[in-house]
Structure 1
Amino acid sequence: MTTTGSMTLFELPMGQEGTVSGAPGASDERTEEQEIALRLFEIGFIPGERVRVVARGYPGGDPLAVRVGDTMFALRRFEAERVLVTPACEAAR
């Protein structure tokens, strides 16, 4: 967890709601990282959106079933680690 109370989506405990607080930034250079960031943005992982980890794969928690807004998605760990979230209890402060 970072000092601001944000954590990655992968670190968010199962069942706890959070709010997307950040994602990888954009740049002019088209890299694999930017492709992942664009995909996450296009499916709804934008700052302010509600998220909840609904299920985790076994073993190791990969992949994750994540509800973003009213839609469910499966994300791999490397994708979930690129989305910053603020847990609901932190967002209320």
Structure 2
Amino acid sequence: MALTLDKLQVGQSRRISAVGGQGALRRRLLDMGLTPGTLVTVCKMAPMGDPIELELRGYSLSLRLEDAANIELEEESEGHA
């Protein structure tokens, strides 16, 4: 089972491996900079857990967990956060 962005905890970082979703949702995620190879860090989580605040490409992005579930991440390799 692939690791998705909605499963990361605050302070964890991973590289994006694939962007799922259909049509407009997928295009919106890609337009926000969530593209394969991009390093993403979870900075904050709302009190109820949704949305999450991400740091990527030098900016902060808030994303609903429902949308974050469409972002597949690379598995953690030795020597990386």
TM-based fold match above 0.5: yes
TM-score bracket relative to the smaller structure:
0.7 to 0.9
Gaps of 5+ in 2: none
C-alpha distance in 2 between matches for 1:62 and 1:41: 20
Relative distance call for 1:91 and 1:23 in structure 2 (3 A) is farther
After the TM superposition, list the runs of 4 or more consecutive aligned residues in structure 1 that deviate by more than 4 angstroms: none
Q: Secondary structure at the match of 1:90?
A: coil
Within a 5 Å distance, the mapping from 1:62-81 to structure 2 comes to 62-81=50-69
- Over residues 28-87 of structure 1, what are the superposed CA-to-partner deviations in whole Å (9 max), with x where a residue is unaligned? xxxxx321110110111110000011011112x100001122111000111111111125
SS across alignment from 2:37: coil
Identity percentage over the alignment? Answer: 25
Distance 2:74 2:15 in 1: 5
Unmatched 5+ stretches in structure 1 = 26-32
Cα-Cα RMSD: 1.9
Structure with the higher fraction of residues in strand conformation? 2
CA distance in 2, matches of 1:10, 1:92: 23
- Pair member with larger Rg: 1
Q: Identify the residue that residue 3 of structure 2 maps to in structure 1.
A: 7
